[in-house]
Amino acid sequence: TDAAPLIRADRSKLYMADLESALHYSLRVEAARASALSGAQLAAFKCYVAALVKYFPGRPCVQTYLQTLDGWLRNWTEPELPRDVLKEAMKNNKDASSPAVLPTNVTWVGCQGSERHFRGYPCGLWTIFHLLTVQAAKNGPDKELPLEVLSTMRCYVRHFFGCQECAEHFEAMAAQSMDRVSSREEAVLWLWSHHNEVNARLAGGDTEDPKFPKLQWPPPDMCPQCHKEERGVHAWEEPAVVTFLKAHFSPANIYMDYAE
Ligand code: FAD
C-alpha cells in the first residue's frame, strides 16, 4: 500500500535507510533528469561519485556499487553523457562475484515527515554531506584539500538540487565564506553552522514540519556541553560541537533498521 510505515525514529541516530534512499534519489533521479550531462554538470557528477567512494561508509554491496560507477565514469571521456547510457550504467548488478547494489526503494526513517511532503530527501542530502565532511576530517590530513567535500556539495547543489531557490541561497552562503575554510575540521564546522543559518531562516515557515520544528542544532538535551553563555548571551562551545559531530556522524552511529 501507499501508507507510510509507522516508524519511531531516534533522533540521536543515523539510519542507513535514509542514507541509501537519498543516494538512490540523488544519483538515479535528481542527477539523471537532464537528457545528457556535459561540461561542468558532468564534472560535478563525477566529483560527487568520487567523494562518495572515498568517504561514504556504506555496506559492502553499496561500496562496490559506488566504486564500479566511479570506475565507469572515469572511463567515460566523451564530452557528453546521454541519460539513457548513464541510467544503464547505474543499474544494480546482483550477480557479480561481489554484488554492486544500491537499493532502489525509498524509505525515510530518521528523515520521515509527519506528512509526505515534509522532510525526506532534503533531510537525507544534508545528512549525507555532514557525514562526508566528518569522514573526510577523520580520514585525511587536516590541512590537505580542506574544501574537497564542501566544494563537491556546492557543485552538486548548484547543478542538480531540485529546489532552485534553495540552491541559490546555498550558493550565496558559499560565495560569501566557503573559501576561507582552511582545514577539514573547519569544513565540518562550516557546514554545521550554515545548516543552522538555514534552520533559523526557515523556522516557523510553511516548509517546516510542525512535528519537527527547526532548531539550532544540536539542542541542549542532545548535547548540553555544546552550549554556553557569555555575558548572558547564548554561545556555542565549538570544541564540544566538533566532538559531538564526529560521534553523531560516525559509522558506529548508523543503524540498519528498515534498510532493505
Ligand atoms: P533538515 O534541516 O533537513 O536536517 C536534517 C537532519 O540533520 C535533522 O533532522 C538533524 O538531525 C540534523 N541537523 C539539523 N541541523 C543540523 C546542523 N546545523 N548540523 C548538522 N546536522 C543538523 N528549504 C527551504 O524551504 N528553503 C531553502 O532555502 C532551503 N535550502 C536548502 C539548502 C540545502 C543545501 C538543502 C540540502 C536543503 C535546503 N532546504 C531549504 C530544505 C531544508 O533545509 C530542510 O532540509 C527541509 O525543510 C527538511 O527539514 P528537516 O526538519 O528534515 O531537517
Q: How far is the CA of 121 from the centre of ligand 1 (A)?
A: 10
Contact 12, 222 (CB under 8 A): yes
> Residue 33 C-alpha to ligand 1 middle, in angstroms?
23
Beta bridge pairs of residue 81: 37
CATH number assigned to the domain comprising residue 233: 1.20.120.310
Angle of helix 121-139 versus helix 184-202 axis, rounded to 10: 160
- How far apart CA 29 and CA 50 sit, in angstroms, is 18
Per-residue confidence in pLDDT tens, the chain, 260 aa? 455 666 789 999 999 999 999 999 999 999 999 999 999 999 999 999 999 999 999 999 999 999 999 999 999 999 999 999 999 999 999 998 999 999 999 999 999 999 999 999 999 999 999 999 999 999 989 999 999 999 999 999 999 999 999 999 999 999 999 999 999 999 999 999 999 999 999 999 999 999 999 999 999 999 999 999 999 999 999 999 999 999 999 999 999 998 88
Count of domains forming the chain: 1
For cell 531540485, the residue is: 162
Q: Reduced to 3 DSSP states, what percent helix, strand and coil does the chain have, rounded to the nearest 5? A: 55, 10, 40
* HSE of 118, CA atoms in CB hemisphere, 13 A: 18
Q: What are phi and psi of 109, to 5 degrees?
A: -115, -80
Dist CA 57 CA 108 (whole Å): 18
Q: Looking at ligand 1, which atom is closest to the CA of residue 130?
A: 20
The amino acid at 157: V
Could you give the C-alpha distances from 42 to 10, 107, 179, 240, in angstroms and in order? 37, 28, 23, 38
Residue-range definition of the domain harbouring residue 8: 1-260
Read out DSSP for 157-209?
HHHH-S-HHHHHHHHHHHHHHGGG--SHHHHHHHHHHHHHHHHHHHTTSTTS-
Residue 94 neighbours by CB distance under 10 Å: 9
User: What's the pLDDT score for residue 228?
Assistant: 97
Strand partners, 15: 255
Q: Is 121 in the pocket of ligand 1 (CB under 6 A)?
A: no
Instruction: Give the distance (Å) from ligand 1 centre to CA of residue 89.
Output: 30
- pLDDT one-digit tens code per residue, 10-43: 999 999 999 999 999 999 999 999 999 999 999 9
Interface confidence, given as ipTM, is: 0.99
Q: What would the grid cell of residue 220 be?
A: 541542549
